Amino acid sequence: MSKVLILAEHNGSQINQSTAKVLTAAKQLNADAIDVVLFAGDAALASQVASLNGVNAVKFVQCADNHDQLAASIAPTVAELGKDYTHVWGPSTTFGKDVMPRVAALLGVNQVSDVMEVIDATTFKRPIYAGNAIITVKTDTAQIVATVRTASFAAEKAMDGSAAINESNLENAASHTTYVSLSSGNSDRPDLQTASKVISGGRGVGSEENFKIVYDLADKIGAATGASRAAVDAGYVPNDMQVGQTGKIIAPDLYMCFGISGAIQHLTGIKDAGTIVAINKDADAPIFEVADVGLVGDLFKIIPEMMEKL
């Protein structure tokens, strides 16, 4: 007798794929109904959600002044609506991670973070220790609040739904928090979190200028670009390219990385990738322990050769 409420995510003009992934996970609960709550300024987003296959109703909460991005503003409404549901779920993206624990606290429950497998409506698997261990957890509180590890679930693709849309306006917008701005590393390349191919560079790439050959190769094969923390910390690339425990957790069909050693925190981000290809000049680099295809060599020779031959 499960009833699920999903928190939708968007960027102002597009519903984030994380929403369709949480929907896939929610369907595994064998729920009687799956509703979605959407906080946004633009009503067009509500129809995008309404067309997702399997959504019963969309609770569209109109927000002004970017309050739809502020956890303190939206969590009270999610929690209030959530009282009518058995499961209140969001994505394990930075947006979901910010909001959902507030919802859990308001509902008086601990949250199940990063659900990677649904066993039944009250039993789940999730990673701990950067994915070095997987735990099975059980909880049967009146509401089960969880975030869903998006790399573990394929996005619901069917857009044949026609859910009812209920509109309301945001109440309780926080007065103590204001949204100021968002700066994106904006690129025309595919989105790192949803791309089927990703090319990444690490500290071995050596500089911001050198990253150009990584971007060129990515463009050649239509891949998104990623990086290790070391490359971000060194200022070679923007933070939104970081893959790993504290960056993005991704599951592309192809992950090809150059000059990345393979620290456990990085591997956490790619373990669901289809094929991992590693190029590193050090034959003992730990990345080769997880790579499906490994090539020992200098990336500054290998990338140009690949550009020529692809």
Ligand X SMILES: Cc1cc2nc3c(=O)[nH]c(=O)nc-3n(C[C@H](O)[C@H](O)[C@H](O)COP(=O)(O)OP(=O)(O)OC[C@H]3O[C@@H](n4cnc5c(N)ncnc54)[C@H](O)[C@@H]3O)c2cc1C
The one of ligand X, another protein, none whose footprint includes residue 1, by CB under 5 to 8 A per kind, is none
> Residue 44: in which H helix or E strand, if any?
helix 44-50
Q: Minimum distance from CB of 153 to another protein (Å)?
A: 16
The one of another protein, ligand X, none whose footprint includes residue 259, by CB under 5 to 8 A per kind, is ligand X
Q: Minimum distance from CB of 166 to another protein (Å)?
A: 26
The one of ligand X, another protein, none whose footprint includes residue 93, by CB under 5 to 8 A per kind, is another protein
Give the integer Cα–Cα distance in Å for 299 and 303.
6
Rg of the chain's alpha carbons, rounded to an integer?
21
Q: Minimum distance from CB of 115 to ligand X (Å)?
A: 20
Q: Minimum distance from CB of 139 to another protein (Å)?
A: 4
Of 143 and 261, CB closest to ligand X: 261
Of 91 and 204, CB closest to ligand X: 204
Give the integer Cα–Cα distance in Å for 299 and 257.
10
Of 50 and 146, CB closest to another protein: 146
The one of ligand X, another protein, none whose footprint includes residue 177, by CB under 5 to 8 A per kind, is another protein
The one of another protein, ligand X, none whose footprint includes residue 298, by CB under 5 to 8 A per kind, is ligand X
Of 209 and 308, CB closest to another protein: 308
The one of ligand X, another protein, none whose footprint includes residue 228, by CB under 5 to 8 A per kind, is ligand X
Q: Which residue has the tokens 């933070």?
A: 239
Q: Minimum distance from CB of 143 to another protein (Å)?
A: 11
Of 62 and 265, CB closest to ligand X: 265
Q: Tell me if residue 32 falls in helix, strand or coil.
A: coil
Q: How many CB atoms lie within 10 A of CB 271?
A: 15
Give the integer Cα–Cα distance in Å for 60 and 80.
14
In the complex, the residues that contact ligand X under the rule CB under 6 A are 202-204, 228-231, 242-247, 259-261, 263, 265-266, 269, 279-282, 285, 298-300
Give the integer Cα–Cα distance in Å for 266 and 254.
16
The DSSP line for 113-147 is EEE-EEEETTEEEEEEGGGTEEEEEE---SSEEEE
Of 58 and 237, CB closest to another protein: 237
Of 24 and 242, CB closest to another protein: 242
Residue type, 8: A
- Provide the greatest CA pair distance for the chain: 60
Residue type, 45: L
- Give, in order, the Cα–Cα distances in Å from 128 to each of 122, 171, 208: 19, 36, 33
Contacts of 176 (CB under 8 A, 6+ apart): 72
Q: Minimum distance from CB of 197 to another protein (Å)?
A: 7
The one of another protein, ligand X, none whose footprint includes residue 299, by CB under 5 to 8 A per kind, is ligand X
Q: SS3 letters for 205-231?
A: HCCCCCHHHHHHHHHHHCCEEEECHHH
Q: Minimum distance from CB of 207 to another protein (Å)?
A: 18
Measured in degrees and rounded to the nearest 5, phi and psi for residue 140 equal -130, 40
Of 7 and 278, CB closest to ligand X: 278
The one of another protein, ligand X, none whose footprint includes residue 231, by CB under 5 to 8 A per kind, is ligand X
Q: Minimum distance from CB of 32 to another protein (Å)?
A: 24
Give the integer Cα–Cα distance in Å for 32 and 255.
38
